[in-house]
């Protein structure tokens, strides 16, 4: 017959095992939620870009694979004025060393060629304005 202390020790082990299993499930669910939140954010930015372009009937331009392009579009979608490469580097916390700014400028020019952003004035980048039905 088990003593009271042995019963308590056995129950403590059961509780610890159950708690560990729940922690594992929580971590798995938290990872999945983080992934879904990221995807939802990407879709929201894609919607903003499509609406800004005013061209829902045309296939969207292909976004380069590097995630920084998505971050650039997010910052530009939230910006109230056109931004320079240095401003985007600051907004994305990339640093403002000349190599970082030039790398950003190169990415911005690539997005301009895809039509996802516009450079209305030299060095000033923004999302394209919606076309009006003139």
CA–CA separation, 92 and 104 (whole Å): 10
DSSP code, position 33: H
Whole-model pTM over 0.85? no
3-state DSSP assignment of residue 17: helix
Looking up tokens 């879709």 gives 43
Summarised one tens digit per residue, pLDDT across range 75-122 is: 999 989 999 999 999 999 998 999 999 999 999 998 998 888 999 899
Please report the pLDDT score of residue 132 as a whole number.
Answer: 54
Q: Which of 83, 76, 71 is nearest to 123 (CA)?
A: 83
22 has a pLDDT exceeding 70 = yes
Across the chain, mean pLDDT equals: 86
Please report the pLDDT score of residue 37 as a whole number.
Answer: 85
Domain boundaries, the chain: 1-134
């Amino acid at each position: 017959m088990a003593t009271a202390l042995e019963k308590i020790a056995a129950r403590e082990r059961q509780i610890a095992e159950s708690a560990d299993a729940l922690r594992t499930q929580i971590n798995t669910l938290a990872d999945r939620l983080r992934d879904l939140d990221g995807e939802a954010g990407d879709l929201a930015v894609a919607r903003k870009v499509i609406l800004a372009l005013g061209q829902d009937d045309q296939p969207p331009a292909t976004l380069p694979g590097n995630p920084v392009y998505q971050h650039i579009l997010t910052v530009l979608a939230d910006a109230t004025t056109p931004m320079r490469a240095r401003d985007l580097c600051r907004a994305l916390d990339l640093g403002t060393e000349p190599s970082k700014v030039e790398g950003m400028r190169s990415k911005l020019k690539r997005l301009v060629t895809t039509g996802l952003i516009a450079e209305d004035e030299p060095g000033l980048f923004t999302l394209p304005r919606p076309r009006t039905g003139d």
